[in-house]
A and B are shown apart, each in its own frame.
Chain A
Amino acid sequence: MVRHAWFSDWSTLGVGNMKSIWLLISSASLLLIAVLMPNLPFPSKKYDYFFMVDITRSMNVQDYQNDNGDPVSRLEKVKADALIAIQKLPCGSRVGLGVFTERMPTLLYTPMEVCADYPEIRESIRRIDWRMAWVADSNIILALTNTLELMRTVEIENTTLVFFTDGQEAPPMNMRYAPDLAELQSADNNAQKRIRGLIVGTGDHALSRIPKYDEDGIQIGFYTAEDVPQGTTFGLPEDPSKIEGYVPRNAPWGNQSRAGNEHLSSVKEEYLKSLAEPAKLHYHHLQTANQLYNALTHEDFSQRHIRQTDLSFIPAALSLIFLFLAYLPENGFSFKRNKSVKPFRKTAS
């Protein structure tokens, strides 16, 4: 019969060195290391973003669906998906917020840390409202240019711009007078650094009607063809020969009323890509929060940063292995025989 009375004199040596004291000593010393080791600098990824959200009226178009299949507006979709993506970001990442309308962006706050200040970020994103808009037009390319300039003014040019918009220019833009994004972002210009970023196109490819609201936010219908300019009348046309009824002085944009569907809105992907390319920005079409997260965490946007990381789990895990070996039954994994290992009990007799 086998027993393990540790005070026994009848030692049977060489049962296997699994029960060596060295296992316990190694385990103890590894634990000592785990307790005493300082936090070590360990490289990890983090992301700094500046979210710039379009709050013009075309963002009210309800051409997305939520999980229940109910229609939600582009702005609501942006808010919901941006929050989900922010939640997934590693701690130490930061998010700043701004909104734009017409051609003017404004900063709501400079980047905040996404873990410690998450409640504030959540609340402020939830409270973004199209009614914050101080003017009504929508001039995407100038808003983008001004956003890049704003980021330099408030000295957050090292953060990644995330520009949410549907690309709907209202009134339509005369591209002759468009600013040169390539020049703004050129590397030759030593005074300024190229700002990295991402344009997120929002909306469906199909045209939808733009809701019209009154002062109290109650929907009173949709915009009709007569409500909006159907083409640009700004400046001079590029090619007058194409314009019907062109009169140089009195009707540089023709004397015919123009038909069009500028009162309807869809995501202007081609246009947004044509903005992204010279500005060396990425383009992403907003569909799901997961895809947005993947687009946001693209290699180009990640920043390496050295974080003091607690690595004590490594020696502790090794110590656990040694401890496990110290307790491993000598005869393999069978515990059956250990039943007889119970200390002998005195009987009443």
Chain B
Amino acid sequence: MNIAFAQPWALLLLLLAVLPVLGGIFRKRKASWNHLIPASDATRWINRFIKLLGVMAFTGIVLGLAGLYQSEKSFTRTGTGAHIVFVLDRSASMNETFGGKVPDEDTPAKSQVARRLLSNFVDERPHDLFGVVGFSTQPFFISPLTEHKSATQAAINSLTSPGLAFTNVAKGLGMGLSYFQDQPHTGSRVIVLVSDGAATLDHRAQRVLREWFERYQVRLYWFFLRTENGLGITSEPETPRDDNPRVMPERYLDQFFRTLPIPYHAYEVDTPESLEAAIDQLDDLESLPLVYNELIPRNDLTRLCFLGALFAVIILVGIKSLEAK
């Protein structure tokens, strides 16, 4: 029970609760001689009960006025789910449609499609923790791993902002992996890379990424938003001369990901529908047992206090009405 008060200063009024002990609700009467009306055991107990009711009435109202509440609690539960970090490409080409054109009303930009689908995905997975990283030439921290869906939704909205510069996949993934540094290992850990291009990784970046993926045991999903007629993950080079990471970065990035010691799935997505299908598949795959915290929001006990006081006062009214006139 985590009990706290919204206005603790009002507790000063608790001093009023001594009133029923010192005095009573009844008129004082003169008696010729006290010994004529001896107090029986029953009288004394009834008297104590009446005082107690008075104390209850005062305490109840004052606790209510002080804003008694049970603070936010989190219960640890076990369910199925994952810790998911979205690593979102914010490069300039995300502003185009899947057809590589300027978006209009019927054909939204890739970033818009991705935003809508990711947003639905977040809504459908109540127990997962989500984090969001953006990257262009540099990575930027958007929102931490959190169970607050409203925060994650606001972070995904960053996709509506126009894209920036280049695609530096390595740094984005690096920041995404850093989210798992001090997270307890429970459920599945997933990085969802959403990008529409790739970049060559230098040896240093490759080594660091390989090490971190292995250390943190993070699964990788790559949603590659391919532009129509553009090069894709599975494109074969036409001539051996083209078979190098400069010309075909997607193919080489895919090959690098395949060598990582972790489960890896690549989805080449070239229509909004296929992105939806890929996200559905992710939904099915990532449901390992997960220890998650369920937040019980703060519970206002004000009314309960007033109700207690109400009962005490009603009984007092009843007793008072029995008072001899």
List residues of chain B with CB within 8 A of the CB of A3: 28-31, 34, 37
Q: Which of B29, B39, B137, B142 contacts A134 (CB 8 A)?
A: B137
A104 within 8 A of B: yes
Contact, CB under 8 Å: A12 / B150? no
Q: A6-B324, A9-B324, A123-B144 are in contact. Are A323 and B313 (CB under 8 A)?
A: yes
> Across the two chains, which residue of chain B brings its CB closest to A323?
B57
Q: Which of A6, A10, A111, A135 contacts B154 (CB 8 A)?
A: A111
Most chain A CB within 10 A, of B32, B44, B47, B310, is at B310
List residues of chain B with CB within 8 A of the CB of A104: 164
A42 within 8 A of B: no
How far apart are the CA atoms of A25 and B313 in the complex, in Å?
Answer: 8
Interface string of B20-37 (1 = CB under 8 A from A): 101111111111101101
Contact, CB under 8 Å: A5 / B31? yes
List residues of chain A with CB within 8 A of the CB of B320: 21, 24
B226 within 8 A of A: no
Q: Which of A123, A153, A316, A344 contacts B38 (CB 8 A)?
A: A344
List residues of chain B with CB within 8 A of the CB of A110: 154, 157-158, 160
Most chain B CB within 10 A, of A12, A31, A96, is at A31
A187 within 8 A of B: no
Contact, CB under 8 Å: A132 / B139? yes
List residues of chain B with CB within 8 A of the CB of A35: 303, 306-307, 310
Contact, CB under 8 Å: B137 / A31? no
Contact, CB under 8 Å: A330 / B27? yes
Contact, CB under 8 Å: A99 / B324? no
List residues of chain A with CB within 8 A of the CB of B154: 96, 109-112, 117
The smallest C-beta distance from A105 to any residue of chain B, in angstroms, reads 8
The smallest C-beta distance from B297 to any residue of chain A, in angstroms, reads 9
A236 within 8 A of B: no
How far apart are the CA atoms of A106 and B306 in the complex, in Å?
Answer: 50
B287 within 8 A of A: no
**101-155 of chain A: CB within 8 A of chain B:** 104-113, 116-117, 119-121, 123-124, 127-129, 131-135, 150, 153-154
Interface string of B288-325 (1 = CB under 8 A from A): 00000000000010110011011001101100111111
Contact, CB under 8 Å: B143 / A8? no
How far apart are the CA atoms of A96 and B150 in the complex, in Å?
Answer: 12
List residues of chain A with CB within 8 A of the CB of B247: none
List residues of chain B with CB within 8 A of the CB of A251: none
The smallest C-beta distance from B52 to any residue of chain A, in angstroms, reads 14
Dominant SS among interface residues on chain A: mixed
Interface string of A11-45 (1 = CB under 8 A from B): 11101000101001101100110110000000000
**136-152 of chain B: CB within 8 A of chain A:** 136-144, 146, 148, 150-151
List residues of chain B with CB within 8 A of the CB of A271: none
List residues of chain A with CB within 8 A of the CB of B136: 134
How far apart are the CA atoms of A116 and B153 in the complex, in Å?
Answer: 14
Contact, CB under 8 Å: B148 / A116? yes
B43 within 8 A of A: yes
List residues of chain B with CB within 8 A of the CB of A24: 25, 313, 316-317, 320
List residues of chain A with CB within 8 A of the CB of B22: 329, 335, 338
List residues of chain A with CB within 8 A of the CB of B277: none
Contact, CB under 8 Å: B23 / A106? no
Q: A116-B148, A132-B139, A134-B137 are in contact. Are A31 and B39 (CB under 8 A)?
A: no
Contact, CB under 8 Å: B61 / A10? no
A177 within 8 A of B: no
List residues of chain A with CB within 8 A of the CB of B23: 327-329, 335, 338, 341
Contact, CB under 8 Å: A120 / B34? no
Contact, CB under 8 Å: A12 / B37? no
**46-86 of chain A: CB within 8 A of chain B:** none
List residues of chain A with CB within 8 A of the CB of B317: 21, 24-25, 28
Contact, CB under 8 Å: B28 / A154? no
How far apart are the CA atoms of A334 and B61 in the complex, in Å?
Answer: 24
Q: A28-B317, A320-B61, A327-B25 are in contact. Are A343 and B143 (CB under 8 A)?
A: no
Q: Which of A31, A105, A127 contacts B313 (CB 8 A)?
A: A31
Contact, CB under 8 Å: B28 / A34? no
What bracket does the count of chain B residues touching chain A fall in? Answer: 35 or more
Interface string of A322-349 (1 = CB under 8 A from B): 0110111110000100100101111000
B65 within 8 A of A: yes
List residues of chain A with CB within 8 A of the CB of B35: 344
Interface string of A149-179 (1 = CB under 8 A from B): 0100110000000000000000000000000
The smallest C-beta distance from B26 to any residue of chain A, in angstroms, reads 5
How far apart are the CA atoms of A19 and B27 in the complex, in Å?
Answer: 6
How far apart are the CA atoms of A15 and B27 in the complex, in Å?
Answer: 7
List residues of chain A with CB within 8 A of the CB of B57: 27, 323
List residues of chain B with CB within 8 A of the CB of A113: 150
> Across the two chains, which residue of chain B brings its CB closest to A327?
B19
Contact, CB under 8 Å: A316 / B58? no
A312 within 8 A of B: yes
B54 within 8 A of A: yes
A1 within 8 A of B: yes
> Across the two chains, which residue of chain A brings its CB closest to B25?
A326
Q: Which of B43, B62, B141 contacts A320 (CB 8 A)?
A: B62
Contact, CB under 8 Å: A134 / B43? no
Q: A6-B324, A106-B164, A117-B150 are in contact. Are A1 and B28 (CB under 8 A)?
A: no
Contact, CB under 8 Å: B306 / A34? yes
What are 25 A-B pairs at a CB distance below 8 A?
A: A2-B28, A5-B37, A10-B30, A11-B29, A19-B27, A21-B323, A25-B317, A27-B57, A27-B313, A28-B310, A96-B154, A106-B161, A108-B140, A124-B142, A132-B140, A134-B166, A150-B161, A153-B161, A310-B300, A313-B302, A317-B61, A328-B19, A330-B27, A338-B23, A341-B23
Identify the B interface with A (CB < 8 A): 13, 16, 19-20, 22-32, 34-35, 37-39, 43-44, 47, 54, 57-58, 61-62, 64-65, 90, 132, 134, 136-144, 146, 148, 150-151, 154-155, 157-158, 160-162, 164-166, 300, 302-303, 306-307, 309-310, 313-314, 316-317, 320-325
Please name 8 further chain A to chain B contacts, defined as beta carbons within 8 Å, in addition to the given A5-B37, A9-B324, A316-B306, sorted by A numbering: A4-B24, A8-B37, A11-B325, A109-B157, A134-B165, A312-B64, A327-B25, A343-B39
